[in-house]
Structure 1
């Protein structure tokens, strides 16, 4: 089964809205390697409409410009791009198609297609939330920036039940950004105050 990875820029207080307004001061070579490692190694991209439109406006021009990021732009252009939207879309970027049918069913089928390369996601927060809930997202890469935005949409919305996650790996960059990789924890720990109190007693002893 193919693996789906999603990458998000996020502030210390959980804001993911308009990262272009606050994350660039923290973008260095370490972050560049993390982004390219997560997204550039995928041969298929799964994107929400807004993310796709932003990418389609920027990356083809960067590829034509031939600058330092042209190589990454070529990788994105060559990848198969599947766009999640209920609207009828005019897909102008090469190798682009619109996801058909139910999201969970379609993504399940996509994961079961032959191949060993990852399916990469960037942004596309509403899709990320749905795939996490359905246990279809294998890795959630959060690039946590040392800044509290104090306004804007957050990654996790209010809900009646918690969503336990398991930390897979972590790395701290020289900028103070922390790269955290999570997956859904289907075997989350349980306990109460009595459990915590017992552990405190053991640490004292």
Structure 2
């Protein structure tokens, strides 16, 4: 069975919304390597539509520019990208397709397909749904030492408890804590 890993930038107060407004002062080579390793291990990337749109607007140009992140951009471009959306979508970024049908049923089937790991970045609503359904194998949280104060949090007040177990953690020199959680099991 294929493994699904998700990575999220999260503020100390649980906010995951608009990380581009507070994340970059904490980004360094350590974080780049950790984020890159989590996504580079995947041959398929599962994304919500908003995250996909952000990636599709940035990564193809980075690949064409040939800068220091061109290898990561190429890896993302070459990966199979599956986008979760209720609206009918058209794609310009290569290897992109839309997830069809019910999210939980379709992702359950995707995990049964042949292939390597499935990576996720951002896509908070999809991460929430997959955690609740027990389909997420690893949750990589990059906890930033900042309280944003407002915005969407990873879990809302109506979420049912989801027991997790700590699989590992690392503290970066910027004060960001990289925690990896998995399902707690029975």
- Structure 1 length normalisation: TM-score? 0.89
State the distance in 2 between where 1:186 and 1:42 align.
24
2:100 aligned with 1:94 = no
How big is the alpha-carbon RMSD for the aligned residues of Structure 1 and Structure 2?
A: 0.9
**Residue 41 (structure 1) shift:** 1.6
Structure 1 stretches lacking a partner, 5+ long: 188-205
Report 1:56-67 matches (<5 A).
56-67=56-67
Report 1:86-125 matches (<5 A).
86-115=86-115, 117-125=116-124
Which of these two proteins has the greater Rg computed from alpha carbons? Answer: 1
SS of residue paired to 1:111: helix
SS of residue paired to 1:6: strand
Q: Which moved more, 1:69-78 or 1:178-187?
A: 178-187
Find the counterpart in structure 1 of residue 130 from structure 2: 131
Deviation per residue, 1:69-104 (Å, 9 max, x gap): 001000000000000000011111000000011111
- Aligned CA distance change for structure 1 residues 18 and 98 (closer, same or farther; 3 Å): same
Find the counterpart in structure 2 of residue 13 from structure 1: 13
State the distance in 1 between where 2:129 and 2:152 align.
16
> Which contiguous aligned blocks of 4+ residues in structure 1 show a shift greater than 4 angstroms?
none
Find the counterpart in structure 2 of residue 155 from structure 1: 154
SS of residue paired to 1:46: strand
Find the counterpart in structure 1 of residue 31 from structure 2: 31
2:81 aligned with 1:81 = yes
Aligned length: 186
**Residue 160 (structure 1) shift:** 6.0
Deviation per residue, 1:168-203 (Å, 9 max, x gap): 10001111100000122233xxxxxxxxxxxxxxxx
Find the counterpart in structure 1 of residue 42 from structure 2: 42
